[in-house]
Amino acid sequence: MSQGSHTFSVEAQDSAGNQSSAASFTWTINTTAPPTPTITSTPANPTNQTSASFSFSDSQTGVSFLCQLDSSAFTACSSPATYSGLSQGSHTFSVKARDAAGNQSAAASFTWTVDTTVPPPTITSTPANPTNQNSATFSFTDTEAGVSFLCQLDGGAFSACPSPQSYSGLSLGNHTFSVKAQDAAGNQSGAASFSWTIDTTPPPTPSITSTPSNPTKQTRASFKFSDTETGVGFLCQLDGSAFSACSSPHSYSGLSLGNHTFSVKAQDAAGNQSGAASFTWTVM
């Protein structure tokens, strides 16, 4: 039968040929599917929310709707349709319109990702610790692509930052730098942190505790020295040459006749150098 309205009628006729009035039934054949629905409201994509709500409508009045989440069966639903307890990962919502004749439209779909985790960053470059520099630069990365970063210095507020992140004009003492990763879903990782000390105070000038006689006929000379600050290293110099790392005792040989000057500085772990202690003597 064709699309459209049809009417069936029936009359009764007895043996004398009399006919009753007709009983009738009119119906419509409709095999045209309604328009595909429009999804008018969705969750963010990606999102860190494990619930989702969808609103939808259709341009044909009087239709009902069938909804599907992921690979489940289509079931009757109304707008808005809400889901909760969603697992991590990708999800797809689909909705069809169904008219009074049972015709179903094509499905409108929306795919989104539920993401509630992000790995913490790795700090790949830091200042020396301790250091005598009042500036600091940090580099950092994350194993998840596309993340942004939030940085914090010394317990201040976290704020958006790039890698590398630099600070200047830092005060003496202890400092802590922290960085978090934030993904497109708004998840923030735990913080990676680095603590260091800024020390610009030079150590005390060393004491030279043992020297050659002055004057002397010896072309060899040995010096002992120490410092009141523990853990320092030493830099030695002979006769205006460059200072270089040395330890106590420190010896020289093959010295020429004439005057000589030995100098020694202390250097702490932050790189600060003391004033020089010196001794001058004559080889005759």
Integer-rounded Cα radius of gyration of the chain: 43
Tokens of 112: 């989104």
Which CATH number goes with the domain that contains 59? 2.60.40.10
Q: Is residue 7 part of a domain?
A: no
In this prediction, residue 27 carries a pLDDT of 83
> Which among 135, 163, 198 is the end of a domain?
198
Q: Is residue 56 part of a domain?
A: yes
Walk along the chain (284 residues) and give the pLDDT tens digit of each residue: 888 788 888 899 999 988 989 889 988 877 789 999 999 999 999 999 999 999 999 999 999 999 999 999 999 999 999 999 999 999 999 999 999 989 999 999 999 999 999 999 999 999 999 999 999 999 999 999 999 999 999 999 999 999 999 999 999 999 999 999 999 999 999 999 999 999 999 999 999 999 999 999 999 999 999 999 999 999 999 999 999 999 999 999 999 999 999 999 999 999 999 999 999 999 99
Which residues are CB-neighbours of 18 under 8 A, at least 6 positions away? none
Q: How far apart are CA 175 and CA 198, in angstroms?
A: 8
Tell me the two tokens of residue 206: 């060393």
User: Full-prediction pTM beyond 0.75?
Assistant: no
- Cα–Cα distance between 3 and 6 in angstroms, integer? 9
Same structural domain, 272 and 211 = yes
Supply the range of the domain harboring residue 151. 122-198
Beta-carbon contacts of residue 222 (< 8 Å; ≥ 6 apart): 210, 212, 249, 250, 251, 252
100 and 50 housed in the same domain: yes
Same domain, 93 and 127: no
Domain check: are 273 and 219 in the same one?
yes
- 54 occurs within a structural domain: yes
- From the list 270, 280, 281, 276, the residue with the least C-alpha distance to 206 is 276
- The DSSP letter of residue 90 is E
List, in sequence order, every residue forming a beta bridge with 222; answer none if it has no partner: 251
CB 51 within 8 A of CB 86: yes
The structure tokens 């922290």 sit at 178
Query: d(Cα 157, Cα 113) in Å, to the nearest integer?
Result: 29
For residue 232, give every residue at least 6 positions away whose Cβ sits within 8 Å of its Cβ, in sequence order, or none.
203, 266, 267, 268, 269, 274
Examine the fold and report which residue of 167, 198, 229 is the final residue of a domain before the chain moves on. Answer: 198
Residues 100 and 144 in one domain: no
Q: How many domains does the chain have?
A: 3
Closest CA to 279 of 250, 254, 256, 253: 250
Within-domain flag for 138: yes
260 within some domain: yes
How many whole angstroms separate alpha carbon 155 and alpha carbon 173?
15
Look at residue 90 and tell me if it is in a domain: yes
Question: Do 99 and 140 fall into the same domain?
Answer: no
Q: Of 148, 180, 198, which marks where a domain is finished?
A: 198
106/127 same-domain check: no
Among 110, 111, 115, which Cα is nearest to 145's?
Answer: 115
In a domain, 72, yes or no: yes
Residue 256 in domain: yes
